[in-house]
Structure 1
Amino acid sequence: MTQFFTHEGFDLAFEDRLPQAGTGEPVLLIHGFASSHIVNWVSPGWVKTLTEAGYRTIALDNRGHGLSSKSYDPAAYTPENMAGDAAALLDHLGIERAHVMGYSMGARIAAFLALEAPERVATLVFGGLGYGMVDGVGDWDPIAEALLAPDPAGITHPRGKSFRAFADQTRSDRRALAACISTSRALLSEAEISRINQPTLVAVGTTDDIAGSAFALAALMPNAESFDIEGRDHMLSVGDRTFKQRVLDFFAANPL
Protein backbone atom coordinates (compact mmCIF):
# COMPACT_ATOMS: atom_id res chain seq x y z
CA MET A 1 0.00 0.00 0.00
CA THR A 2 1.37 3.41 -0.98
CA GLN A 3 2.13 5.82 1.86
CA PHE A 4 3.47 9.38 1.89
CA PHE A 5 5.87 11.47 3.94
CA THR A 6 7.03 15.07 3.49
CA HIS A 7 10.59 16.30 3.02
CA GLU A 8 11.75 19.72 1.82
CA GLY A 9 8.25 20.57 0.66
CA PHE A 10 7.81 17.40 -1.40
CA ASP A 11 5.15 14.79 -0.66
CA LEU A 12 7.06 11.59 -1.38
CA ALA A 13 5.35 8.28 -2.09
CA PHE A 14 6.73 4.99 -0.81
CA GLU A 15 5.88 1.41 0.00
CA ASP A 16 7.07 -0.50 3.05
CA ARG A 17 6.57 -4.25 2.69
CA LEU A 18 7.23 -6.62 5.57
CA PRO A 19 8.15 -10.27 5.02
CA GLN A 20 5.89 -13.04 6.26
CA ALA A 21 7.85 -13.28 9.51
CA GLY A 22 6.91 -9.67 10.23
CA THR A 23 10.44 -8.40 10.53
CA GLY A 24 13.63 -8.53 8.49
CA GLU A 25 16.72 -6.60 7.46
CA PRO A 26 15.63 -3.45 5.61
CA VAL A 27 16.40 -2.92 1.93
CA LEU A 28 15.86 0.56 0.49
CA LEU A 29 15.21 0.61 -3.27
CA ILE A 30 15.86 3.76 -5.33
CA HIS A 31 14.54 3.75 -8.90
CA GLY A 32 15.94 5.17 -12.12
CA PHE A 33 15.17 8.22 -14.24
CA ALA A 34 11.62 8.46 -15.66
CA SER A 35 10.62 5.39 -13.67
CA SER A 36 8.83 4.86 -10.34
CA HIS A 37 8.90 2.35 -7.53
CA ILE A 38 6.09 0.43 -9.22
CA VAL A 39 7.76 0.29 -12.65
CA ASN A 40 11.31 -0.32 -11.38
CA TRP A 41 10.74 -2.58 -8.39
CA VAL A 42 7.20 -3.93 -8.05
CA SER A 43 6.38 -4.89 -11.65
CA PRO A 44 9.73 -6.67 -12.35
CA GLY A 45 9.29 -8.73 -9.17
CA TRP A 46 11.98 -7.23 -6.94
CA VAL A 47 9.67 -6.44 -4.04
CA LYS A 48 8.20 -9.96 -4.16
CA THR A 49 11.65 -11.55 -4.45
CA LEU A 50 13.10 -9.62 -1.50
CA THR A 51 10.13 -9.97 0.83
CA GLU A 52 9.88 -13.70 0.15
CA ALA A 53 13.59 -13.95 1.00
CA GLY A 54 12.82 -12.38 4.40
CA TYR A 55 13.75 -8.72 3.82
CA ARG A 56 11.75 -5.66 4.79
CA THR A 57 11.50 -3.93 1.43
CA ILE A 58 11.11 -0.16 1.16
CA ALA A 59 10.79 1.61 -2.18
CA LEU A 60 10.16 5.29 -2.81
CA ASP A 61 9.15 7.45 -5.74
CA ASN A 62 11.91 10.02 -6.21
CA ARG A 63 10.80 13.65 -6.27
CA GLY A 64 9.45 14.50 -9.72
CA HIS A 65 8.53 10.86 -10.37
CA GLY A 66 5.60 8.52 -9.85
CA LEU A 67 3.12 9.71 -7.24
CA SER A 68 5.59 12.08 -5.55
CA SER A 69 5.39 15.87 -5.85
CA LYS A 70 6.79 17.50 -8.98
CA SER A 71 8.94 20.59 -9.43
CA TYR A 72 9.97 22.33 -12.63
CA ASP A 73 13.05 23.86 -10.99
CA PRO A 74 16.23 21.98 -12.02
CA ALA A 75 17.87 22.98 -8.72
CA ALA A 76 15.50 20.62 -6.89
CA TYR A 77 16.90 17.51 -8.56
CA THR A 78 20.54 17.29 -7.56
CA PRO A 79 21.68 13.82 -6.42
CA GLU A 80 22.41 15.35 -3.00
CA ASN A 81 18.79 16.48 -2.68
CA MET A 82 17.41 13.10 -3.72
CA ALA A 83 19.84 11.28 -1.43
CA GLY A 84 18.49 13.54 1.32
CA ASP A 85 14.98 12.30 0.53
CA ALA A 86 16.17 8.70 0.90
CA ALA A 87 17.81 9.43 4.26
CA ALA A 88 14.66 11.25 5.39
CA LEU A 89 12.58 8.19 4.55
CA LEU A 90 14.82 6.05 6.75
CA ASP A 91 14.36 8.65 9.50
CA HIS A 92 10.59 8.61 8.97
CA LEU A 93 10.54 4.82 9.39
CA GLY A 94 12.96 4.80 12.32
CA ILE A 95 15.57 2.78 10.42
CA GLU A 96 19.17 3.43 11.38
CA ARG A 97 20.93 1.34 8.70
CA ALA A 98 19.77 -0.45 5.57
CA HIS A 99 20.93 -2.26 2.49
CA VAL A 100 20.59 0.31 -0.30
CA MET A 101 20.00 -0.64 -3.92
CA GLY A 102 19.66 1.79 -6.79
CA TYR A 103 19.16 1.37 -10.51
CA SER A 104 20.66 3.81 -13.05
CA MET A 105 19.97 7.30 -11.66
CA GLY A 106 19.01 5.53 -8.44
CA ALA A 107 22.50 4.02 -8.26
CA ARG A 108 23.99 7.51 -8.46
CA ILE A 109 21.64 8.68 -5.68
CA ALA A 110 22.68 5.66 -3.60
CA ALA A 111 26.36 6.57 -4.07
CA PHE A 112 25.74 10.13 -2.89
CA LEU A 113 23.82 8.74 0.10
CA ALA A 114 26.74 6.46 0.97
CA LEU A 115 29.16 9.39 0.84
CA GLU A 116 26.99 11.88 2.73
CA ALA A 117 25.53 9.52 5.36
CA PRO A 118 27.78 6.42 5.42
CA GLU A 119 26.45 5.35 8.81
CA ARG A 120 23.01 4.77 7.25
CA VAL A 121 24.21 2.49 4.44
CA ALA A 122 25.17 -1.07 5.31
CA THR A 123 25.69 -2.36 1.77
CA LEU A 124 25.18 -1.03 -1.74
CA VAL A 125 23.95 -2.44 -5.02
CA PHE A 126 24.55 -0.29 -8.09
CA GLY A 127 22.43 -1.66 -10.94
CA GLY A 128 22.55 -0.27 -14.47
CA LEU A 129 25.38 2.16 -13.74
CA GLY A 130 29.08 1.39 -13.82
CA TYR A 131 31.97 3.69 -14.68
CA GLY A 132 29.45 6.08 -16.19
CA MET A 133 29.06 7.30 -12.61
CA VAL A 134 32.52 8.85 -13.08
CA ASP A 135 32.87 9.72 -16.77
CA GLY A 136 29.25 10.33 -17.71
CA VAL A 137 26.80 8.31 -19.74
CA GLY A 138 26.77 10.05 -23.08
CA ASP A 139 24.89 13.00 -24.51
CA TRP A 140 21.64 13.46 -22.61
CA ASP A 141 20.64 16.91 -23.87
CA PRO A 142 18.64 15.34 -26.74
CA ILE A 143 16.66 13.42 -24.12
CA ALA A 144 15.49 16.65 -22.47
CA GLU A 145 14.55 17.97 -25.90
CA ALA A 146 12.66 14.77 -26.70
CA LEU A 147 10.78 14.93 -23.39
CA LEU A 148 9.57 18.45 -24.21
CA ALA A 149 8.83 17.85 -27.90
CA PRO A 150 5.16 18.55 -28.69
CA ASP A 151 4.97 15.64 -31.14
CA PRO A 152 6.98 12.46 -30.46
CA ALA A 153 6.77 11.54 -34.14
CA GLY A 154 9.32 14.22 -34.91
CA ILE A 155 12.00 12.87 -32.55
CA THR A 156 14.97 11.44 -34.45
CA HIS A 157 17.59 10.95 -31.69
CA PRO A 158 17.46 7.18 -30.84
CA ARG A 159 18.04 7.53 -27.09
CA GLY A 160 15.73 10.54 -26.96
CA LYS A 161 13.03 8.56 -28.72
CA SER A 162 13.49 5.63 -26.32
CA PHE A 163 13.23 7.73 -23.17
CA ARG A 164 10.27 9.74 -24.53
CA ALA A 165 8.45 6.47 -25.18
CA PHE A 166 9.33 5.25 -21.68
CA ALA A 167 8.14 8.51 -20.11
CA ASP A 168 4.87 8.31 -22.02
CA GLN A 169 4.45 4.66 -21.07
CA THR A 170 4.91 5.47 -17.38
CA ARG A 171 2.60 8.53 -17.72
CA SER A 172 5.32 10.73 -16.27
CA ASP A 173 5.30 14.50 -15.99
CA ARG A 174 7.68 15.16 -18.87
CA ARG A 175 8.36 18.77 -17.88
CA ALA A 176 9.47 17.64 -14.41
CA LEU A 177 11.69 14.97 -15.97
CA ALA A 178 13.30 17.52 -18.28
CA ALA A 179 14.16 19.62 -15.22
CA CYS A 180 15.46 16.54 -13.41
CA ILE A 181 17.73 15.35 -16.20
CA SER A 182 19.60 18.64 -16.33
CA THR A 183 20.92 18.40 -12.75
CA SER A 184 20.63 14.76 -11.63
CA ARG A 185 23.64 13.60 -13.68
CA ALA A 186 26.32 15.12 -11.42
CA LEU A 187 29.47 13.01 -11.64
CA LEU A 188 31.60 11.60 -8.85
CA SER A 189 35.38 11.60 -9.11
CA GLU A 190 37.45 8.45 -8.84
CA ALA A 191 38.69 9.75 -5.48
CA GLU A 192 35.13 10.14 -4.22
CA ILE A 193 34.16 6.66 -5.41
CA SER A 194 37.22 5.22 -3.64
CA ARG A 195 35.86 6.58 -0.34
CA ILE A 196 32.84 4.25 -0.53
CA ASN A 197 33.85 1.51 1.90
CA GLN A 198 30.62 -0.45 2.20
CA PRO A 199 30.39 -3.88 0.58
CA THR A 200 29.17 -3.05 -2.93
CA LEU A 201 27.86 -5.01 -5.89
CA VAL A 202 27.98 -3.32 -9.31
CA ALA A 203 25.77 -5.05 -11.89
CA VAL A 204 25.46 -4.00 -15.54
CA GLY A 205 24.01 -5.72 -18.60
CA THR A 206 26.52 -6.94 -21.15
CA THR A 207 24.66 -5.09 -23.94
CA ASP A 208 24.00 -1.94 -21.89
CA ASP A 209 25.35 1.02 -23.91
CA ILE A 210 24.53 3.59 -21.21
CA ALA A 211 26.00 2.39 -17.91
CA GLY A 212 29.74 2.07 -18.50
CA SER A 213 31.90 -0.75 -17.15
CA ALA A 214 30.81 -2.45 -13.93
CA PHE A 215 34.31 -3.87 -13.46
CA ALA A 216 36.00 -0.47 -13.84
CA LEU A 217 33.77 1.13 -11.22
CA ALA A 218 34.10 -1.77 -8.77
CA ALA A 219 37.88 -1.66 -9.14
CA LEU A 220 37.92 1.84 -7.65
CA MET A 221 36.32 0.75 -4.38
CA PRO A 222 38.02 -1.16 -1.57
CA ASN A 223 35.15 -3.62 -0.99
CA ALA A 224 33.30 -3.97 -4.30
CA GLU A 225 32.64 -6.68 -6.86
CA SER A 226 31.11 -6.60 -10.31
CA PHE A 227 28.51 -8.79 -11.99
CA ASP A 228 27.72 -9.05 -15.71
CA ILE A 229 24.03 -9.44 -16.50
CA GLU A 230 24.43 -11.57 -19.59
CA GLY A 231 22.68 -10.54 -22.79
CA ARG A 232 20.71 -7.70 -21.23
CA ASP A 233 20.57 -4.03 -22.19
CA HIS A 234 19.80 -1.08 -19.91
CA MET A 235 16.04 -1.60 -19.92
CA LEU A 236 15.99 -5.40 -19.73
CA SER A 237 18.61 -5.85 -17.02
CA VAL A 238 16.23 -4.67 -14.31
CA GLY A 239 14.13 -7.81 -13.98
CA ASP A 240 16.77 -10.39 -14.91
CA ARG A 241 16.61 -13.58 -12.80
CA THR A 242 20.37 -13.98 -12.52
CA PHE A 243 20.62 -10.38 -11.27
CA LYS A 244 18.01 -11.06 -8.58
CA GLN A 245 19.78 -14.22 -7.42
CA ARG A 246 23.15 -12.47 -7.34
CA VAL A 247 21.70 -9.70 -5.17
CA LEU A 248 20.15 -12.22 -2.77
CA ASP A 249 23.50 -14.01 -2.49
CA PHE A 250 25.24 -10.66 -1.90
CA PHE A 251 22.87 -9.60 0.87
CA ALA A 252 23.13 -13.03 2.50
CA ALA A 253 26.93 -12.77 2.48
CA ASN A 254 26.84 -9.25 3.95
CA PRO A 255 24.20 -9.15 6.70
CA LEU A 256 23.53 -6.01 8.72
Structure 2
Amino acid sequence: MQFFRHDGFEIAFLDRQPASGHGDPVLMIHGFASSHYVNWVSPGWFKTLNDAGYRAIALDNRGHGASSKSYDEADYTPARMASDSAALLDHLGIGRAHVMGYSMGARLAAFLALSNPDKVATLVLGGLGIGMVDGVGDWDPIADALVAQDPESISHARGKMFRAFADQTRSDRHALAACIATSRELLSEDDVARISQPTLIGVGTTDDIAGSPDELAALMPNAVAFHIEGRDHMLSVGDRNFKQRVLQFYADNPL
Protein backbone atom coordinates (compact mmCIF):
# COMPACT_ATOMS: atom_id res chain seq x y z
CA MET A 1 0.00 0.00 0.00
CA GLN A 2 1.02 3.56 -0.69
CA PHE A 3 -0.44 6.75 0.77
CA PHE A 4 -1.01 10.33 -0.26
CA ARG A 5 -2.68 13.23 1.51
CA HIS A 6 -5.80 15.00 0.25
CA ASP A 7 -8.45 17.17 1.90
CA GLY A 8 -7.12 16.36 5.34
CA PHE A 9 -7.13 12.58 4.82
CA GLU A 10 -4.36 10.04 4.38
CA ILE A 11 -5.63 8.00 1.46
CA ALA A 12 -4.30 4.47 0.98
CA PHE A 13 -4.03 3.00 -2.50
CA LEU A 14 -2.60 0.10 -4.47
CA ASP A 15 -1.07 0.56 -7.93
CA ARG A 16 0.05 -2.46 -9.94
CA GLN A 17 1.41 -2.47 -13.48
CA PRO A 18 1.05 -5.50 -15.76
CA ALA A 19 4.04 -7.70 -16.55
CA SER A 20 4.83 -5.55 -19.58
CA GLY A 21 5.57 -2.65 -17.26
CA HIS A 22 2.94 -0.32 -18.65
CA GLY A 23 -0.75 -0.45 -19.49
CA ASP A 24 -3.84 1.69 -19.75
CA PRO A 25 -4.92 2.65 -16.19
CA VAL A 26 -8.11 1.36 -14.58
CA LEU A 27 -9.08 3.17 -11.37
CA MET A 28 -11.37 1.10 -9.14
CA ILE A 29 -13.60 2.62 -6.41
CA HIS A 30 -15.01 0.21 -3.83
CA GLY A 31 -18.39 0.08 -2.15
CA PHE A 32 -19.69 1.03 1.29
CA ALA A 33 -18.07 -0.78 4.24
CA SER A 34 -15.65 -2.45 1.84
CA SER A 35 -12.02 -1.75 0.84
CA HIS A 36 -9.68 -2.05 -2.12
CA TYR A 37 -8.83 -5.56 -0.93
CA VAL A 38 -12.38 -6.83 -0.38
CA ASN A 39 -13.81 -5.51 -3.66
CA TRP A 40 -10.84 -5.70 -6.01
CA VAL A 41 -7.96 -7.85 -4.79
CA SER A 42 -9.73 -10.79 -3.19
CA PRO A 43 -12.28 -11.26 -6.03
CA GLY A 44 -9.43 -11.32 -8.57
CA TRP A 45 -9.84 -7.97 -10.33
CA PHE A 46 -6.20 -6.95 -9.96
CA LYS A 47 -5.04 -10.25 -11.48
CA THR A 48 -7.69 -10.12 -14.22
CA LEU A 49 -6.73 -6.60 -15.27
CA ASN A 50 -2.97 -7.11 -14.99
CA ASP A 51 -3.14 -10.36 -16.96
CA ALA A 52 -5.05 -8.49 -19.69
CA GLY A 53 -2.36 -5.80 -19.84
CA TYR A 54 -4.00 -3.05 -17.78
CA ARG A 55 -2.58 -1.00 -14.92
CA ALA A 56 -4.80 -1.69 -11.90
CA ILE A 57 -5.27 1.06 -9.31
CA ALA A 58 -7.60 1.09 -6.31
CA LEU A 59 -7.92 3.30 -3.25
CA ASP A 60 -9.44 2.83 0.15
CA ASN A 61 -12.14 5.50 0.33
CA ARG A 62 -11.91 7.92 3.24
CA GLY A 63 -13.36 6.30 6.35
CA HIS A 64 -12.59 2.83 4.98
CA GLY A 65 -9.76 0.33 5.01
CA ALA A 66 -6.32 1.76 5.72
CA SER A 67 -7.30 5.36 4.89
CA SER A 68 -7.86 7.80 7.74
CA LYS A 69 -11.26 8.19 9.34
CA SER A 70 -13.63 11.00 10.22
CA TYR A 71 -16.83 11.03 12.28
CA ASP A 72 -18.10 14.20 10.62
CA GLU A 73 -20.93 13.43 8.20
CA ALA A 74 -19.99 16.46 6.07
CA ASP A 75 -16.77 14.70 5.03
CA TYR A 76 -18.66 11.95 3.23
CA THR A 77 -20.69 13.66 0.54
CA PRO A 78 -20.21 11.95 -2.84
CA ALA A 79 -18.58 15.08 -4.27
CA ARG A 80 -15.91 15.16 -1.55
CA MET A 81 -15.33 11.41 -1.67
CA ALA A 82 -15.06 11.47 -5.47
CA SER A 83 -12.50 14.26 -5.19
CA ASP A 84 -10.13 11.76 -3.52
CA SER A 85 -10.16 9.67 -6.69
CA ALA A 86 -9.50 12.72 -8.86
CA ALA A 87 -6.63 13.69 -6.56
CA LEU A 88 -5.19 10.16 -6.77
CA LEU A 89 -5.07 10.35 -10.55
CA ASP A 90 -3.30 13.70 -10.25
CA HIS A 91 -0.91 12.25 -7.66
CA LEU A 92 -0.01 9.45 -10.08
CA GLY A 93 0.32 11.80 -13.04
CA ILE A 94 -2.56 10.11 -14.89
CA GLY A 95 -4.56 12.47 -17.06
CA ARG A 96 -7.22 10.02 -18.20
CA ALA A 97 -8.31 6.56 -17.04
CA HIS A 98 -10.98 3.92 -17.19
CA VAL A 99 -12.98 4.24 -13.97
CA MET A 100 -14.89 1.36 -12.38
CA GLY A 101 -17.00 1.63 -9.23
CA TYR A 102 -19.09 -0.85 -7.31
CA SER A 103 -22.23 0.04 -5.31
CA MET A 104 -21.37 3.25 -3.43
CA GLY A 105 -18.24 3.31 -5.58
CA ALA A 106 -20.42 3.41 -8.69
CA ARG A 107 -22.13 6.51 -7.33
CA LEU A 108 -18.73 8.09 -6.63
CA ALA A 109 -17.57 7.19 -10.14
CA ALA A 110 -20.61 8.93 -11.61
CA PHE A 111 -19.93 12.04 -9.52
CA LEU A 112 -16.30 11.91 -10.69
CA ALA A 113 -17.39 11.72 -14.33
CA LEU A 114 -19.53 14.82 -13.85
CA SER A 115 -16.97 16.87 -11.92
CA ASN A 116 -13.87 15.78 -13.88
CA PRO A 117 -15.09 14.56 -17.27
CA ASP A 118 -11.65 14.88 -18.87
CA LYS A 119 -10.17 12.40 -16.39
CA VAL A 120 -12.80 9.69 -17.01
CA ALA A 121 -12.45 7.88 -20.33
CA THR A 122 -15.05 5.18 -19.64
CA LEU A 123 -17.26 4.12 -16.75
CA VAL A 124 -18.16 0.73 -15.37
CA LEU A 125 -20.95 1.04 -12.82
CA GLY A 126 -21.36 -2.21 -10.91
CA GLY A 127 -24.01 -3.00 -8.31
CA LEU A 128 -26.00 0.19 -8.88
CA GLY A 129 -28.66 0.78 -11.51
CA ILE A 130 -31.63 3.15 -11.38
CA GLY A 131 -31.13 3.29 -7.61
CA MET A 132 -28.56 5.97 -8.41
CA VAL A 133 -31.54 8.19 -9.31
CA ASP A 134 -34.49 6.71 -7.39
CA GLY A 135 -32.66 5.65 -4.22
CA VAL A 136 -31.84 2.27 -2.75
CA GLY A 137 -34.33 2.10 0.11
CA ASP A 138 -34.24 3.12 3.73
CA TRP A 139 -30.66 2.85 4.98
CA ASP A 140 -31.14 4.69 8.28
CA PRO A 141 -31.56 1.36 10.14
CA ILE A 142 -28.15 0.35 8.77
CA ALA A 143 -26.51 3.31 10.51
CA ASP A 144 -28.27 2.28 13.73
CA ALA A 145 -27.09 -1.31 13.28
CA LEU A 146 -23.50 -0.21 12.78
CA VAL A 147 -23.35 1.55 16.15
CA ALA A 148 -25.51 -0.87 18.13
CA GLN A 149 -23.82 -2.06 21.31
CA ASP A 150 -25.14 -5.61 20.94
CA PRO A 151 -25.29 -7.03 17.39
CA GLU A 152 -27.78 -9.63 18.62
CA SER A 153 -30.28 -6.80 19.19
CA ILE A 154 -30.40 -5.93 15.48
CA SER A 155 -33.66 -7.03 13.85
CA HIS A 156 -33.43 -5.14 10.54
CA ALA A 157 -32.29 -7.72 7.94
CA ARG A 158 -30.15 -5.42 5.81
CA GLY A 159 -28.77 -3.73 8.92
CA LYS A 160 -27.78 -7.13 10.31
CA MET A 161 -26.09 -8.00 7.01
CA PHE A 162 -24.02 -4.80 6.86
CA ARG A 163 -23.12 -4.99 10.57
CA ALA A 164 -21.79 -8.50 10.01
CA PHE A 165 -19.91 -7.31 6.91
CA ALA A 166 -18.39 -4.36 8.81
CA ASP A 167 -17.32 -6.64 11.65
CA GLN A 168 -15.86 -9.14 9.21
CA THR A 169 -13.77 -6.44 7.51
CA ARG A 170 -12.81 -4.95 10.91
CA SER A 171 -14.11 -1.57 9.82
CA ASP A 172 -14.49 1.53 11.96
CA ARG A 173 -18.25 1.26 12.42
CA HIS A 174 -18.71 4.83 13.68
CA ALA A 175 -16.93 6.22 10.62
CA LEU A 176 -19.20 4.08 8.43
CA ALA A 177 -22.28 5.38 10.23
CA ALA A 178 -21.19 8.93 9.44
CA CYS A 179 -20.47 7.95 5.84
CA ILE A 180 -23.83 6.34 5.22
CA ALA A 181 -25.64 9.45 6.42
CA THR A 182 -24.42 11.64 3.54
CA SER A 183 -22.92 9.40 0.84
CA ARG A 184 -26.33 8.38 -0.55
CA GLU A 185 -26.95 11.69 -2.35
CA LEU A 186 -28.93 11.00 -5.52
CA LEU A 187 -28.27 12.14 -9.05
CA SER A 188 -31.15 13.55 -11.08
CA GLU A 189 -32.17 12.21 -14.47
CA ASP A 190 -30.66 15.34 -15.99
CA ASP A 191 -27.38 14.67 -14.14
CA VAL A 192 -26.95 11.16 -15.48
CA ALA A 193 -27.99 12.31 -18.96
CA ARG A 194 -24.90 14.53 -18.93
CA ILE A 195 -22.57 11.54 -18.45
CA SER A 196 -21.47 11.04 -22.04
CA GLN A 197 -18.59 8.60 -21.56
CA PRO A 198 -19.06 5.02 -22.79
CA THR A 199 -20.63 3.28 -19.79
CA LEU A 200 -21.27 -0.33 -18.83
CA ILE A 201 -23.80 -0.92 -16.04
CA GLY A 202 -23.59 -4.37 -14.43
CA VAL A 203 -26.16 -5.54 -11.88
CA GLY A 204 -26.88 -9.02 -10.54
CA THR A 205 -30.22 -10.56 -11.45
CA THR A 206 -30.94 -11.27 -7.77
CA ASP A 207 -29.61 -7.93 -6.48
CA ASP A 208 -32.35 -6.35 -4.34
CA ILE A 209 -30.45 -3.10 -3.70
CA ALA A 210 -29.18 -1.73 -7.03
CA GLY A 211 -32.32 -1.21 -9.10
CA SER A 212 -32.64 -1.83 -12.83
CA PRO A 213 -29.50 -1.37 -14.95
CA ASP A 214 -31.67 -1.05 -18.06
CA GLU A 215 -33.60 1.92 -16.66
CA LEU A 216 -30.39 3.74 -15.79
CA ALA A 217 -28.81 2.97 -19.16
CA ALA A 218 -31.91 4.34 -20.92
CA LEU A 219 -31.28 7.74 -19.31
CA MET A 220 -27.69 7.93 -20.53
CA PRO A 221 -26.51 8.76 -24.04
CA ASN A 222 -23.79 6.09 -24.31
CA ALA A 223 -24.57 3.31 -21.83
CA VAL A 224 -25.35 -0.40 -22.02
CA ALA A 225 -26.70 -2.73 -19.34
CA PHE A 226 -25.30 -6.13 -18.40
CA HIS A 227 -27.23 -8.60 -16.28
CA ILE A 228 -24.98 -10.67 -13.99
CA GLU A 229 -26.92 -13.91 -13.94
CA GLY A 230 -27.77 -15.51 -10.60
CA ARG A 231 -25.77 -13.08 -8.50
CA ASP A 232 -26.90 -10.90 -5.61
CA HIS A 233 -25.42 -7.59 -4.45
CA MET A 234 -22.56 -9.15 -2.50
CA LEU A 235 -21.52 -11.74 -5.09
CA SER A 236 -21.84 -9.83 -8.36
CA VAL A 237 -18.55 -7.97 -8.02
CA GLY A 238 -16.40 -11.08 -8.43
CA ASP A 239 -18.47 -12.84 -11.10
CA ARG A 240 -16.40 -14.38 -13.89
CA ASN A 241 -18.83 -13.38 -16.64
CA PHE A 242 -18.85 -9.79 -15.35
CA LYS A 243 -15.06 -9.69 -15.56
CA GLN A 244 -15.13 -11.00 -19.14
CA ARG A 245 -17.75 -8.43 -20.14
CA VAL A 246 -15.68 -5.61 -18.62
CA LEU A 247 -12.55 -6.71 -20.50
CA GLN A 248 -14.55 -6.76 -23.74
CA PHE A 249 -15.88 -3.29 -22.92
CA TYR A 250 -12.33 -1.99 -22.47
CA ALA A 251 -11.19 -3.63 -25.67
CA ASP A 252 -14.07 -1.92 -27.49
CA ASN A 253 -13.28 1.46 -25.88
CA PRO A 254 -9.48 1.83 -25.67
CA LEU A 255 -7.87 4.97 -24.32
TM-score class, shorter-chain normalisation, is over 0.9
Tell me, in whole angstroms, the C-alpha distance in 1 between the residues paired with 2:78 and 2:187. 10
Tell me, in whole angstroms, the C-alpha distance in 1 between the residues paired with 2:109 and 2:48. 20
What is residue 48 of structure 2 aligned with on the other side?
A: 49
What is residue 132 of structure 2 aligned with on the other side?
A: 133
Q: Kindly provide the CA deviation profile for residues 99-120 of structure 1, in whole angstroms up to 9, marking residues without a partner as x.
A: 0000000000000000000000
What is residue 119 of structure 1 aligned with on the other side?
A: 118
Report matched runs for 1:40-79 at 5 Å. Answer: 40-79=39-78
What is residue 5 of structure 2 aligned with on the other side?
A: 6
Q: Could you tell me the TM-score, scaled by structure 1's length?
A: 0.99
What is residue 24 of structure 1 aligned with on the other side?
A: 23
What is residue 166 of structure 1 aligned with on the other side?
A: 165
Q: CA deviation at 1:52?
A: 0.6
Structure 1 portions without partners, runs of 5+: none
* 1:118 alignment partner, SS class: coil
**Aligned pair 1:227/2:226, yes or no?**
yes
Q: Kindly provide the CA deviation profile for residues 196-254 of structure 1, in whole angstroms up to 9, marking residues without a partner as x.
A: 00000000000000000000001111100000000000001010000000000000000
Tell me, in whole angstroms, the C-alpha distance in 2 between the residues paired with 1:68 and 1:155. 28
What is residue 195 of structure 2 aligned with on the other side?
A: 196
Tell me, in whole angstroms, the C-alpha distance in 1 between the residues paired with 2:218 and 2:246. 19
**CA-atom RMSD in angstroms:** 0.3
Tell me, in whole angstroms, the C-alpha distance in 2 between the residues paired with 1:26 and 1:236. 25
Tell me, in whole angstroms, the C-alpha distance in 2 between the residues paired with 1:197 and 1:50. 24
Q: Kindly provide the CA deviation profile for residues 116-159 of structure 1, in whole angstroms up to 9, marking residues without a partner as x.
A: 00000000000000000000000100000000000101100000
Tell me, in whole angstroms, the C-alpha distance in 1 between the residues paired with 2:116 and 2:238. 28
Tell me, in whole angstroms, the C-alpha distance in 1 between the residues paired with 2:47 and 2:167. 26
* 1:246 alignment partner, SS class: helix
Identical counterparts, % of pairs: 76
* 1:5 alignment partner, SS class: strand
* 2:236 alignment partner, SS class: coil
Aligned residues: 255
Tell me, in whole angstroms, the C-alpha distance in 2 between the residues paired with 1:112 and 1:85. 11
* 1:69 alignment partner, SS class: coil
**Aligned pair 1:251/2:242, yes or no?**
no
Residue identity matched to 2:18: P
Report matched runs for 1:138-217 at 5 Å. Answer: 138-217=137-216
Tell me, in whole angstroms, the C-alpha distance in 2 between the residues paired with 1:52 and 1:35. 24
Q: CA deviation at 1:83?
A: 0.8
Residue identity matched to 2:116: A
Q: Kindly provide the CA deviation profile for residues 155-180 of structure 1, in whole angstroms up to 9, marking residues without a partner as x.
A: 00000000000000000000000000
Question: Where in structure 1 do 4 or more consecutive aligned residues deviate above 4 Å?
Answer: none
Tell me, in whole angstroms, the C-alpha distance in 2 between the residues paired with 1:217 and 1:99. 19
Q: Kindly provide the CA deviation profile for residues 15-53 of structure 1, in whole angstroms up to 9, marking residues without a partner as x.
A: 000000000000000000000000000000001100110
Q: CA deviation at 1:75?
A: 0.1
What is residue 241 of structure 1 aligned with on the other side?
A: 240
Tell me, in whole angstroms, the C-alpha distance in 2 between the residues paired with 1:160 and 1:172. 15
Tell me, in whole angstroms, the C-alpha distance in 2 between the residues paired with 1:220 and 1:140. 25
Residue identity matched to 1:147: L
Residue identity matched to 2:154: I
Tell me, in whole angstroms, the C-alpha distance in 2 between the residues paired with 1:252 and 1:47. 17
Q: CA deviation at 1:6?
A: 0.3
Q: Could you tell me the TM-score, scaled by structure 2's length?
A: 1.00
